[in-house]
Chain A
Amino acid sequence: MEKRSARMKKTLSPYLYFVPALVLAYLFSYHPFFKTIANSLSLVNFSGKIIEFVGLENFQSLFTDRNFQTSLVNTFRFALFFIPIDLVFCLVCALLVYRKRRFNALNETLFIMPMAVAMSSAALVFKAIFNPTIGVVNHLFGISIQWFNDPAWAMFTIVFLGVWMAMGLDFLLLVGALRSVPKHIVEAAEIEGAGPVAKFFRIQLPLISPTILFIVSTRLRDSMLLSGPVMVMTSGGPYRSTQTLVYQMYIEGFTAGNYSKGSAISVVVFVLTFLLILLAFRFERKGVFYQ
């Protein structure tokens, strides 16, 4: 009897190491995930109860909803500006400092400093410096843009904040990649008389391209989930020009109490991020890091 229970314990014990992770995975990932899918296929009343199964009707009405189309377009519009600006800016910074020279350690520190700032603080500061009346950005650049009133410009405040928040990490990844390009290849090119531009495009860029692809795919995924900066800086305005998918999901689910629609948007976000994570994995497996 005792022997058997000891054996049971022995077979059971490995599972116990897994229990906390499994419980959490169920509670905060799988359970809400399946609940969201169920809601997206049903009519859900104000107090969150499913009253009727309607199949794909919510998705049909979602895709004909101008409001949702706006969110979808805005989310991709953000990504379209955010990722190239982030990449080019970080690449320029990385190319300037990747060789160990005097002052470069200092410059490196300046570039990664935004990593020390949390999103909500950063968003409040950006909101103030872009403010059309009291803000210093218009003044310093001698422009008079109504950043938060002009639908053409409001998204850029979010893009700039996004780049600022992302650049520390992306810069470090790029510097790391540039430094791991074998010296002898670069030197060989220099001896052959390649100028800095040719050297970059012919040697360095191809060799760091896995890192670039990795950054692009993870940042694409981040873009699909953008909501915090929108909430603090613009509340989706003006004229919904900064309303993103996750922000609309939050509004539908919490502010408007339309759980069917909110859940349907969540499912769209799942699909988009799932595809992008797969993309990221592909690049990761190809060996992004040279270390």
Chain B
Amino acid sequence: MNPFMKRSDIVKATGATMLGLVVVFPIYYAFSASFFTIGEFSTYPPTLFPSTLSLVNYIRALTESMLARFMVNSLVVSLVGSLLRMIVAILAAFAVAFLKFKGKQLLFFLVLGTMMLPGDALIIENYLTISRLGLVDSYLGIMSVYLLAPVQMFMLRQSFKTIPLTYRESAAIDGCSDFKFLTSIVLPMSRPIVLTLSLHSFVTIWNTYLWPLLVTNNPEMRTVQVGITMLGYADSLDYGPIFAAISLLLLPSIIIFLLMRKKIVEGIASGAIVG
């Protein structure tokens, strides 16, 4: 390709960069505002650059709130939740793709059909279920409604189906059980899609807001998404610690995002990540 860019390309690239800067402005602002003093939030005209790079807001965010604890909670819930979610989906998808049994189609569609019932509209009744199970203020309560992912089960099934049946036959001849076949042949062969879906699951659970808000009463159990909206500084125009908390949350997300960029783009291109 021509090493020199055409004029129209330069115009396009400049335009794109300018749009891109508008897009990342809120992220920039969050980092910038995390260094503001109280006074800088209420000056007029508003400032865009902090006058100092003092870490006082960060220290306050970490010491005056349970931010660290919120992050641990989110991490546990997202990690364990996405792991369980993948196990449930893999087991079901495997049975649909490889095993023969009566009513398979019915069961499959019964599980797949849940995607027609958006969780947000079921939240009142689901709260009651969790409460009756005594799972309010527990990790299991927070992750419960995310453990079934019908779309992911469907995608895994599609992926499993591309594995030639001859593998299964020869495995059976070798005396390999169904479960062993799943763990030692199917899963290794499906590693890319499993990884992509796990990543997506992790992000989905990490980002949820309304459900964890409902099922946690104790601050020690709050996830970080809920926790940062309840820091309670905004009342006295004391936004510094809020932005410090947001920045603390953003920094690892952005780093991981940049490292995983390729994987995410591929996942979307292959249709494994939708919404």
Contacts and interface: CB of A to CB of B under 8 A. Distances in A.
Interface of A: 11, 13-15, 17-18, 20-22, 24-25, 27-33, 35-36, 48, 92-93, 96-97, 99-104, 106-107, 109-126, 128-129, 133-136, 139, 164, 167, 169, 172-173, 176, 218, 222, 225, 227-228, 231-232, 246, 249-250, 253-254, 259, 262-263, 266, 269-270, 273-274, 277, 289, 291
Interface of B: 1, 5, 9, 12-13, 15-17, 19-21, 23-24, 26-27, 29-30, 33, 41-42, 44-46, 48, 87-89, 91-92, 94-95, 99-101, 104, 107, 110-111, 113-129, 144-145, 147-148, 150, 153, 178, 206-207, 209-210, 214, 225-226, 228-229, 237, 239, 242-243, 246, 249-250, 253-254, 256-258, 261, 264-265, 268-271, 273-275
A104 B121 contact: no
A246 B125 CA distance: 14
The main secondary structure of chain B at its interface with chain A is helix
Nearest to B148: A24
Nearest to A19: B91
B229 A17 contact: no
A14 B258 CA distance: 41
B58 to A, nearest CB: 15
A106 B100 CA distance: 49
B269 A291 contact: yes
Given A22-B107, A101-B12, A228-B210, 7 more contacts: A25-B111, A28-B147, A33-B125, A120-B209, A120-B228, A139-B46, A273-B121
Query: Sorted from nearest, which 5 A-B pairs have the closest CB atoms?
Result: A110-B20, A32-B125, A17-B95, A116-B257, A24-B148
A117 B250 contact: yes
B128 A48 contact: yes
Contact of A119 (B5, B17, B209): B209
Contacts of B206: 118
B88 A36 contact: no
Nearest to A110: B20
A273 B120 CA distance: 11
